[in-house]
């Protein structure tokens, strides 16, 4: 969308903001400016522009503009913090922090933002959204950068430090979701998850009552979690996609509840590297589709494809297809059951082998050799979903240290290798306590300095 298209979209966006702002007779304050370098202004649609300084309030619907050689930091009422980059036009279209009705709507008209979301996005998943001229971004408890690039990003890219590989890459994504669930990190912090959410090595996933989800892993393992389940990725490691993902381990712990699993490439390469562990027993895999359930002190296993083994107290039984077994600690070893328990046969959560998954679309990254004009999005923490406005677009979901681009004129967003100009931006993150004036060369990059500008830097 170029030329008159951008102008038209800006006019429509400003009209919509005017409707939002005009819906209240008294303008609602949404936050305050905590830092300004250069020139920043705010303007209500149809009103007079005013300069912004540190401590000034920002109202709902006001468009914040920053100069080409400046930036501003905005703190919102819900604790969100936003660095408004140079040469940016941006507005908070709506902010409602009332419990049960939390909503935060952001509009990026031009330029870029560095965002730490606050209480609203944590209280209600997908209650926070960012709209640009070409896309919408659904946000779930997130730290992210967004840039609408023209030629500026291409000029900056050669000077940006590359992004080091993430220490904990995404191990799985949610490909089916119904109800409520959360991911619990190693440090005990939890975040709400939904369709498309990323799950990392060492995390646990908890489902609520009447909730189910399906996880797709890098090695093409698929696991369904039934309601009231806690499932931990205890030692799940693999890299890449396709055959490369066959290298690694898959040791997962079912803490409570139940699961349905269809094993992938790691099990095919070396079944000894795949285990499902319960509080009392261990399930060994032999190229398998299984259901596993915990009921008090008893672990139950049902094999519906291939074969598996149930181990406990030094004993093991092999559970062939359409057979079931159970194990209760201090009651002897595991035993084969005469029939399959009815709760397995009545389970309504989808069998994972029947859920279609495009693994390349979930995990493959495209290396971008040329920074073309478009929207670029990079996530530092949490989850976002990027969807093009044009056509019947498929969203791209991103987790920590992941990025995507939506080229101008396209309705196909691509997951890409994280670009340095996003993740190593010289403009400070909004939670930086040591905000400082930046030199001109840091703000605009060496490729954009005139001879007179360069002299000013000497």
The pLDDT score that the predictor gives to residue 438 is 67
Residue 243 has pLDDT above 90, yes or no: no
Which tens digit of pLDDT belongs to each residue from 213-237?
999 999 999 999 999 999 999 999 8
Residue 455 pLDDT: 33
Q: What is the pLDDT of residue 190?
A: 84
Give per-residue pLDDT as tens, 418-450. 999 999 998 999 988 677 676 654 555 555 544
pLDDT at 18 over 80: no
In this predicted structure, what is the pLDDT of residue 83?
97
Cβ neighbours, 10 Å, residue 186: 12
Highest mean pLDDT among 79-93, 139-153, 355-369, 382-396: 79-93
Rounded (10°) CA dihedral 399, 202, 350, 322: 150
Task: Give span(s): CATH 2.60.120.1440, the chain.
Answer: 4-150+373-446, 170-354
CATH for 170-354 is: 2.60.120.1440
CA 173 – CA 198 distance, rounded (Å): 5
CA–CA separation, 428 and 411 (whole Å): 31
Q: How far apart are CA 37 and CA 57, in angstroms?
A: 16
Taking a C-beta distance cutoff of 8 angstroms, is the pair 325, 337 a contact? yes
Tokens 């990026």 — which residue?
A: 108
**Choices 3.30.390.30, 3.30.2020.30, 2.60.120.1440, 3.40.50.150: CATH for 4-150+373-446:** 2.60.120.1440
């Amino acid at each position: 969308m170029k030329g008159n298209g951008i102008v038209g979209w800006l006019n429509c966006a400003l009209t919509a903001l005017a409707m939002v702002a005009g819906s209240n007779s008294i303008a609602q304050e949404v936050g305050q400016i905590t830092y300004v370098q250069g020139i920043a202004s705010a303007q209500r649609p149809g009103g007079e522009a005013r300069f912004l300084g540190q401590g000034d309030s920002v109202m709902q619907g006001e468009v914040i503009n920053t100069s080409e050689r400046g930036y501003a930091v905005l703190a919102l009422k819900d604790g969100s913090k936003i660095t408004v980059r140079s040469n940016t036009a941006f507005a908070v279209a709506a902010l409602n922090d009332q419990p049960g009705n939390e909503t935060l709507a952001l509009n990026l008209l031009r330029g870029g933002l560095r965002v730490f979301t606050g209480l609203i996005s944590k209280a209600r998943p997908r209650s926070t959204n960012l709209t640009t001229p070409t896309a919408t971004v659904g946000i779930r408890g997130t730290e992210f950068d967004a840039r609408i690039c023209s030629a500026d990003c291409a000029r900056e890219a050669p000077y940006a430090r590359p992004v080091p590989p993430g220490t904990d890459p995404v191990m799985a994504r949610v490909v089916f979701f119904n109800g409520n669930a959360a991911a619990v990190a190693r440090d005990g912090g939890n975040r709400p998850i939904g369709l498309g959410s990323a799950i990392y090595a060492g995390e646990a996933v908890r489902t609520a009552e009447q909730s189910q989800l399906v996880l797709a892993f890098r090695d093409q393992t698929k696991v369904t979690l039934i309601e009231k389940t806690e499932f931990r990725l205890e030692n799940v490691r693999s890299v890449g996609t396709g055959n490369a993902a066959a290298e690694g381990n898959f040791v997962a712990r079912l803490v409570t509840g139940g699961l349905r699993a269809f094993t992938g490439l790691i099990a095919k390469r070396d079944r000894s590297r795949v285990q499902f562990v319960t509080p009392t027993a261990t399930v060994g895999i032999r190229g398998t589709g299984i259901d596993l359930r915990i009921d008090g002190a008893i672990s139950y296993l049902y094999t519906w494809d291939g074969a598996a083994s149930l181990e406990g107290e030094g004993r093991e039984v092999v559970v062939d297809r359409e057979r079931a077994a159970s194990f209760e600690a201090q009651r002897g070893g595991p035993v084969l059951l005469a029939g399959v328990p009815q709760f397995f046969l009545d389970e309504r959560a989808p069998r994972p082998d029947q859920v279609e998954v495009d693994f390349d679309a979930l995990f493959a990254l495209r290396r971008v050799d040329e920074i073309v004009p478009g929207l670029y999005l990079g996530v530092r923490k949490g989850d976002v979903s990027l969807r093009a406005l044009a056509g019947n677009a498929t969203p791209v979901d991103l987790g920590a240290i992941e990025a995507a681009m939506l080229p101008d004129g396209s309705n196909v967003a691509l997951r890409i290798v994280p670009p340095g100009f996003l993740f190593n931006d010289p403009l400070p993150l909004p939670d930086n306590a040591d905000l400082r004036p930046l030199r001109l060369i840091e703000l605009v990059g060496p490729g954009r300095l005139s001879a007179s500008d360069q002299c000013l830097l000497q």
